[in-house]
Amino acid sequence: MDQLVRRQTADRPARRGTGPAADRTPEAVRASCPVQVVAEVLGRPSRRRGRELEAAIFEATLDQLTSGGFARLTMEGVAGAARTGKAALYRRWASKVELVMDALDSTLPRPADTPALGSARAELRHLVESFVSVAASRAGGAMSAVMAELDHEQTQLFKDFLAQRMLEPTRDVILDILRRGAERGDVRPDAATPLVADVAPAMLLYRIKVGGHRIGPEFVDQLVDEVLVPLIRA
């Protein structure tokens, strides 16, 4: 009899507990807690690819620059903010310098030809307002943050980037304005030179970086009417 009881006991499946909780798997437990499920979903790396992923990375890069500056920006921090893996960044950019320059290049508006507005003053004011708008944008703020704290080698890289991406195209647009003005007769012919065309960008950069001042409509009027127009007047 004892042997029969022992045999029946051995053949019976082992139970870890009794009641409904004993049959609940870890997945079932998580499913019963919506907060935990949401946290797990939000914590998973995003599976975005291509331009969507790149846009998220650039967005995170600008946020890191404007909030903490270039020195505190890390590839790990950008990856976390963009909700992707660090490897996704290193497949595209070898360093944060390359990442930052690409992020700025993708978001800074490119200088466009100024429409013919009938006078050099109106056209110069239109261009200066566009420059001020860029400087006040998040990309402009990120660029200012970068230039404020780089070492010598990195500063040169970003100076070259700024010159090719913003300053040289802006100078070309100003030269076109001055040449049109010379043809109309409201600009001296000898004022359409690269040196004169550099004055407006130089004043704006000085005001932003060295002077530490905000530039608004009042400064735009002063720059145009007290500096540029007297400089080029026929």
Q: What integer is the mean pLDDT of 206-211?
A: 74
Average pLDDT along the chain = 80
58-72, 87-101, 131-145, 173-187: which has the minimum mean pLDDT?
Answer: 131-145
Per-residue pLDDT tens for 74-130? 999 999 999 999 999 999 999 999 999 999 999 888 777 788 899 999 999 999 998
DSSP the chain: -HHHHHHHHHHSPP-S--SGGGG--HHHHHHT-HHHHHHHHHHSPP---HHHHHHHHHHHHHHHHHHH-TTT--HHHHHHHHTS-HHHHHTT-SSHHHHHHHHHHHHSPPP-PPPP-SSHHHHHHHHHHHHHHHHHSHHHHHHHHHHTS--HHHHHHHHHHHIIIIIHHHHHHHHHHHHHHHHHTSS-GGG-SHHHHTHHHHHHHIIIIIS-----HHHHHHIIIIIIHHHH--
Grade residue 153 by pLDDT with cuts at 50, 70 and 90: low
Mean local confidence (pLDDT), 191-206: 92
Q: How confident is the model at residue 47 (pLDDT cuts 50, 70, 90)?
A: low
Q: What is the pLDDT of residues 16-26, one digit of tens each?
A: 444 444 455 54
Whole-structure pTM value: 0.70
pLDDT band per the 50, 70, 90 thresholds, residue 217: confident
Q: What is the pLDDT of residue 180?
A: 95
pLDDT average, residue stretch 199-207: 89
Q: Output the pLDDT for position 37.
A: 41
Q: pLDDT digits over 7-44, tens only?
A: 544 455 444 444 444 455 545 444 445 445 434 434 44
The pLDDT of residue 160 is above 60: yes
- Domains detected in the chain: 50-101 (1.10.10.60), 120-232 (no CATH)
Task: Quote the pLDDT of residue 39.
Answer: 45
Average pLDDT score over residue span 46-71? 86
Least confident span in 100-104, 156-160, 213-217 = 213-217
Q: What is the mean pLDDT of residues 222-226?
A: 95
